[in-house]
Structure formats: C-alpha cells, structure tokens
Structure 1
Amino acid sequence: MTSALTHLGNMPIQQFLLEYWQKKPLLIRNAFPNFQSPIDGDELAGLALEEEVESRIVVEKGKTPWELHNGPFDEDTFANLPPTHWTLLVQAVDQWVPEVNLLLDNFRFIPNWRLDDIMISFAPDQGSVGPHFDYYDVFLLQGMGKRKWKIGQNCDVNSPHLQGTQLHILENFETQDEWILEPGDMLYIPPGVAHWGVAQGDCMTYSIGFRAPSHSAIVDELSHDIAQTLNNDARFSDPYLKLQSNPGEINADAIAQIQEIIQQHFTAENIAHWFGKHMTERKYGQDDIESDDEITADDWQAALAEGQMLWRHPAARVAFHTSNEGTQLFADGQAFPCSRELAELVSAEVEISWEQLKPLVQDLFDRAVITQLINQETLLVDE
C-alpha cells in the first residue's frame, strides 16, 4: 500500500488538519515535485466519448452564458468547440486510469470513506467553469500548464447565483487572494469558500473531492433504512393515558413517547450499519453484477495458492466499524460481519496475497465473506 502524504509542502499533516482542514484555504507550492500528468488532453477527451463515463463541457460564451453540455460526446463535438473559453470535465478518472487511481493513496490521511473521486478538467486558454463554491472539501492539483486561481468570500445557500445557466455561478465574487499554479502545485479549498480558476494557455487540473452528505440526506436515508427493518406490529401506544382538559392538546407525555420510539431505533449500531453502507456505495462502475459462474471458496483459494493475487477493484469502496457487537466490513454498499483482521486487511491493502489470507480462511465466516466480495467484484482474482 502506498503511504499517505506526511507533509503538505513543509507543513506536517497534523498541523494542516488543525489549522486548515474545513477552516481556510491553503496554497501548497510543489506539493508533488516534478509532477507529470499520467493522462493528456486527447486521452481525457477519449474517455469523454465513452457511454459509461460521466463528462461535461462548459462553454463560457455559448448560446447561453456558461452553457453546459453533458456527455458522452463524439469527435465532432470537440472539432466544433471555439479556440478558447471552454472546459472539459471528466468525473472519476481514477476508476479508468490506474496511474490516476494511485494518486488517491496520497490523500488517505483523510478516512477512506470520505474520499470521493478524482475529476480531471482540461481547458484551453481562458477556459473556466466560473466563480462558484462547493459543499465539500477539494484539493486542486495542477497537472499540466498554468491556471490562475482566485479565492473569494464564504458562501452558503443564500448567496446570489447568476440566472440563465444550469450551473451554480455566483453573481458576486469578492477576491481575497489569487495565485497562478504550475504543475505539482496544489490548492486546498474548504467547503463554502468561493473560488474561480481560469486557464493560462492549455491547462489540466486534478480535483480530489470528498463525500459530505447533507443533514437532510442523513436523516431521510437513515430513517428509510431503519424503517425497512420494522414490521407493522410496532405502534405508538399509551397504556397509561390520563384524562386531559382539552382533547386537542398534544401533551408532553405524547412527545416523550415519540422521542422514546426514535431513541429505540436510532441506536449507534443502526446508525453505523446504515452509514457504513451509505458511505461505501459506488457512484460509478457497479451495475447489477450477474454471473452464471459464481466463484467458490475452493476456486479462489486454489488460484491464490498457485500464486495469483486478490486485487481491490479500482472503483471499490470499503470501510469497517467495530463495536461491542463485533466488526462489520462495508464494501460497495453492503455490510458483512467478519473478523477485525479481515476488515483491516481488505480496507488497507490494494493487493492481497495468499500468505496474508491464509491465517484467516480457517474461519468459515471470513471465508464466506471473501467469496462474496469476489463475486460482487469488490475483490478481483488476477495474476
């Protein structure tokens, strides 16, 4: 496993977390010394031709201001673009280009389940997606060429947006700082901070983003997940009902009963079970996997004993949680009870050898979990 960064420039990671993470922007000059982009503009455009790849093109001066086009595209689309003032954005490039995927390992000083993906943008001179803000943290790594970044004000849902475009372009931008980034330079932007990047000649930028579910989504989806486990027999009840002076009043006892119902079901274990599944769901690359020939435990054990390896799928998302009830491994939106040793191994290692697995396969539950992970393509058997 590639080690996470220990420093951002000359700054220790612990100092960054204390002083900057989710607090204020940080420019890191030469964060990746001698950085060379493992993908060029033509290869990025090639990905944007593929049906399964999410891509967008933003044309600043199109038929409408900041005109948005959604992929997949064809070659004619690129042939007809203006010479300047447009941007191609391709999502989750780390799932399609192994060398890009390796970059994620540098950011594992943030928990795996918070990491989202790497979006790469290409723009000719003056290309931009406009002044905007995000609800999540992002590291902006300059991959090729130069880009001028302006840092603006703190924003929220009430910040005025430009009308007449599908994009959330800020109507007002108050420049606080500005820098020109070159290859290997990186800019950290916390949630809610306005930023605006403009290409200076041909330019490529890597955006390493993080997952940050809204409170609304957490309450909504957690409630739904817990409700799925309950039957219709569980009801509001008030066996010690007292006569009240006004039948229209909802009294404190009724509210206390509702609170008790919520607390009964919104336990730490139920929350952890939902949260683990939710934060490991894949956004891309996992349609319903159906195979006529499921791999058995005997199959993969024989393959590994002969020298093959288990590889974590580039798009796979894994995490684990341990409580008094034991350990649960979460993988691509599914939960599996298993040993903590197996959960730690699958979460930490991209490639797993027979020597690493051999002590664990004596446990029937661990062996069954490994088999399920292979059949759902969280883990791949390969030479």
Structure 2
Amino acid sequence: MDIDIALPLLGGLTPRQFMKRHWQRKPLLVRGAVPGLRPVLERGALLDLASRDGVESRLVVQGEGEGGWRMRRGPFARRALPALSRPGWTLLVQGVDLHVDAAHALLQQFSFVPQARLDDLMISFATDGGGVGPHFDSYDVFLLQAQGRRRWRYGRQADLTLQEGVPLKVLAHFEPEEEHVLEPGDMLYLPPRYAHDGIAQGECQTYSIGFRSPARGELARELLQRLADDAAAEAGDALYRDPSQAAVDAAGAIPQSLQDFAQDALRRALGQPQALARALGEYLSEPKADVWFDAGRAPRRGESLVLDRRTRMLYDARHIFVNGESWVASGADARLMRRLADRRRLDGPELARASSGALELLADWCEAGWARGEPV
C-alpha cells in the first residue's frame, strides 16, 4: 500500500498523516469512508453464520436479566433469537473475515496498520434501539456503518467505573462529549479507552475493525512458554560443579554459587536474540482458535498464488512466519516471501522467478490449505 496517497477511507488523509495525527491520539469521523458500501452479508446469511459451530457470537438483550441486560454466547439456532420486530437486541458475530471473502477483502483496506496488530472484523446486527451500553475498549477500533443508521455518543472518559451486577462491561457514569449519526459508508475511528455508546436507529449493521493489543504480562507468558521448548539447547548441558564448596552449618540455605549458576542458565536461554524473535513471530502469527484449513492446490503455470483468508503471515529481518510456524529466509526468496506477506498474493511472473526451494515450500503451504493457486 502506498502510504502517501490520500484515501476516502481516511477522510482525505494519507495513511501516513492518519497514523501521525490520529492513531492512539484522537477520534476521526469520516463521512462516506466507503462510498456505496453494501453489507458483506445480508441479514439471513449473517444469522445463519451465527448458528455455526466454530463461529464466535453473542446475543445482548436490553431490559432483561440482572441490571437490565442479558447476554448469551452462541452458536444460536434461528428460533433461539428474538423476533426481528422486537426492539433492543443485538447480535455480535466475531471474526467474520475468517469466514467470508468479502469481509476479508474489506479488512485489507486497513493494511496501513501492521498485520501483527490487525485482529478481526466483527459485525454488530441490531434491531431498533439495540446496543451494548456505554463502554470502552482497550484497543483501537474503526466503526464502519454498513446498513441502516446508528447514533454514536463518545468522549474521553475520566471515570471508568463499571456498573455492578451486569454481564457486560457497562460504564456506570457515562459522560459523552460528541454525538453523531452514522449512515451507510460512514466511519468513526476511536483510540483505546475512548468511551462510546452506539444505539441503532432502526435495523442496522455496524462493522468493528479491531486491533490486537497484548498485555505485557500475557506477552511475557506466551514468549516464555515458547522459549521453554528450546531452553535446554540454548542454555547447554554443562552440569553444576562446586569444587570450592566449604562445609556448612546451615544446610537449608541455597548456596550463592548455585543461584549464580541458575541465573546464568536463564541468561543463556534468553540471551539468544533470534530465539526471542522467532518466538514472538510464531506467537503473533498463530491462527485463532477453531481455525482449520482445507487442502488446496499449488498454482499452475501462469497462475497466481493467494493466501487463504484465515492465514496469518508475518516476517522479521531473518524469519518468515506462517500460522505459528517459522522459517529462516534470506536473499531473493526472503524478498519474495515478504512481498507475499505484504500483498497476500504472488502473480505468475513473480512465482516464475522463485527458487525451487521456495516453490517447494509454497506447494507445501498449498497442500496444508494455507494458500492456493488462482487463475489470472
């Protein structure tokens, strides 16, 4: 993506300008961000998707249950959903980009943000008056109106106290600063921790493009677990020796030399920068839970190679990462793989320049269902 071309998606800003002026700083309201936008799924198809195993969905109903809210997790049979004529309910369907090509394609319009940060596209379907209450997210979000109208109130919230006894994270004292009604194609960007409340005006669909923001503790735990698999090899097999150990009269005390030996073992295990880089890339490229792949075919002569919409592909200076696995890459093959990660496709002439080793690896990915051949 050319980050210096002005985009209607960003209200005439270039991606470079948007990231410098708004990203994690201040909201942006864009009228006509996606002109002529039509839902990637009509209502019936969306409700059918929410009925499938392996699709994360939630039903939120206002005016019921504890604290005036009720929430249930799917999958939902059609008969388990409230009547469409009933106001005040919302169906949230997560990860629609994993199941619908059009949703995946829409998500790629936001590739000016690193793929390592991009999470998913969630669809919020609501009947008149539906919403999930005033709340805040810990991550950046683009709220794209796809069908109908939704009134958004939002603002920087000082008091983040939540209502007690409510199955949702609803703010107890919401104080909005701005209010706008979004029409189809309009979009609102909100940085993390900006409080917001969206109320459907008639039946509507809103798309939430969300981003991954791992907590430091979560990231440390995941990386340490992955590094643990290679810890013995990195630290070495040297045994602890203490030929200078003197006799002791306090046998329960751990010798300082043994503590030093343990610290050195950890330094050696964690001191390999490529091991940490590999663990990070494998973690960030891990597919979401319940994702599975069907075997595909390698591209024929002249065809393109396209990544499956569920595939996560990333890279760093030395590695290529695909769906939680890693490969060391350098030279022309590395440049080819990085291009595939950036654009999610390689055309026939690009594949013709690939080495036999790269073509063999790509064929393996196709057999695993991570990529496929596609006619031009």
- TM-score, with structure 1 as normaliser: 0.84
CA contact (8 A) 2:3 2:16 kept: no
Equivalence for 1:317: 312
Deviation, 1:38, is 2.9
Between 1:220-229 and 1:19-28, the stretch displaced more is 19-28
Which of the residues 307, 312, 328 maps onto 1:337? 328
Partner letter of residue 283 of structure 1? Answer: K
Alignment of 1:1-383 (within 5 A): 6-7=6-7, 8-64=10-66, 65-80=68-83, 83-154=86-157, 159-231=160-232, 233=237, 261-266=265-270, 267-284=272-289, 286-287=291-292, 300=298, 304-305=300-301, 307-322=302-317, 327-338=318-329, 339-362=333-356, 364=357, 366-383=358-375
Structure 1 letter corresponding to 2:308: H
The whole-number CA distance in structure 2 between the counterparts of 1:346 and 1:239 is 56
Q: State the 1:16 CA deviation.
A: 1.8
Distance 2:343 2:45 in 1: 29
Contact 1:48–1:73 (CA under 8 A) maintained in structure 2 = yes
| Distance of aligned partners of 1:275 and 1:237 in 2 relative to their CA distance in 1, 3 Å threshold | farther
Unaligned runs of 5+ in 1: none
What is the identity, as a one-letter code, of the residue corresponding to 1:214?
A
Contact 2:122/2:208, CA 8 A, preserved across alignment: yes
Aligned equivalents of 1:20, 1:382: Cα separation in 2: 37
Query: Match for 2:325: what amino acid?
Result: Q
Name structure 2 gaps, 5 residues minimum: none
Q: Any conservation in 1 of the 2:84–2:127 contact (CA below 8 Å)?
A: no
Tell me, yes or no, if the aligned pair for 1:284 and 1:315 is still in contact at 8 Å. no
Is the 8 Å Cα contact of residues 140 and 211 (structure 2) preserved in structure 1? yes
Structure 2 length as normaliser, TM-score?
0.85
Any idea what SS the aligned residue of 1:113 has?
A: coil
| Root-mean-square deviation (Å) | 3.2
Instruction: Give the deviation of 1:33 after TM superposition.
Output: 2.3
Query: CA 1:34–1:82 in structure 2 vs 1: closer, same or farther (change >3 Å)?
Result: closer
CA distance in 1, matches of 2:344, 2:125: 29
Aligned equivalents of 1:285 and 1:273: distance in 2?
23
Shift of 1:44: 1.3
Q: Within 2, Cα distance between the matches of 1:117 and 1:260?
A: 41
Contact 2:134–2:195 (8 Å) recurs in 1: yes
**Which digits, 9 at most, give the CA deviation of each residue in 1:306-364, with x for residues without a partner?**
x4442210111101111xxxx311011111223312322321333333321121133x2
Greater CA deviation, 31-40 or 189-198?
Answer: 31-40
1:228 Cα deviation (Å)? 1.1
CA deviations 1:4-33 (Å, max 9, x no partner) are: 974310223222212211122221222222
Determine the C-alpha separation between the residues in 2 that align with 1:73 and 1:378: 29
Task: Specify the SS of the correspondent of 2:300.
Answer: helix
Q: Which amino acid aligns with 1:375?
A: E
Q: 1:142 to 1:253 in 2, by over 3 A?
A: farther
Aligned equivalents of 1:37, 1:312: Cα separation in 2: 23
**Is the CA contact 1:285–1:315 (under 8 Å) kept in the aligned structure 2?**
no
8 Å Cα contact 2:162-2:169 kept in structure 1: yes
Per-residue deviation at 1:235? 7.1
Q: Is the 8 A contact 1:4 1:109 kept in 2?
A: no
How far has the Cα of 1:187 moved from its partner? Answer: 0.8
Are the counterparts in 2 of residues 145 and 204 from structure 1 also a CA contact under 8 Å?
yes
C-alpha distance 101-237 of structure 1, shift in aligned 2 (>3 A): farther
Separation in structure 2 between the aligned mates of residue 236 and residue 143 of structure 1, nearest angstrom: 64
Judging changes above 3 Å, is the alpha-carbon distance between structure 1 residues 310 and 213 closer, same or farther for their aligned structure 2 residues?
same
Mapped to 2, the partners of 1:330 and 1:367 lie a distance apart of: 16
In structure 1, C-alpha distance between the alignment counterparts of 2:239 and 2:212, rounded to whole Å = 36
Q: Structure 1 counterpart of 2:27, which letter? A: P
Equivalent pairs counted in the alignment come to 365
SS in 1 for 2:327: strand
- The Cα of 1:373 is off from its aligned counterpart by 1.6
Q: Does structure 2 retain, via aligned residues, the 8 Å contact 1:2–1:106?
A: no
8 Å CA contact 1:336, 1:369 repeated in 2? no
Contact 2:126/2:205, CA 8 A, preserved across alignment: yes
Shift in Å at residue 59 of structure 1? 0.5
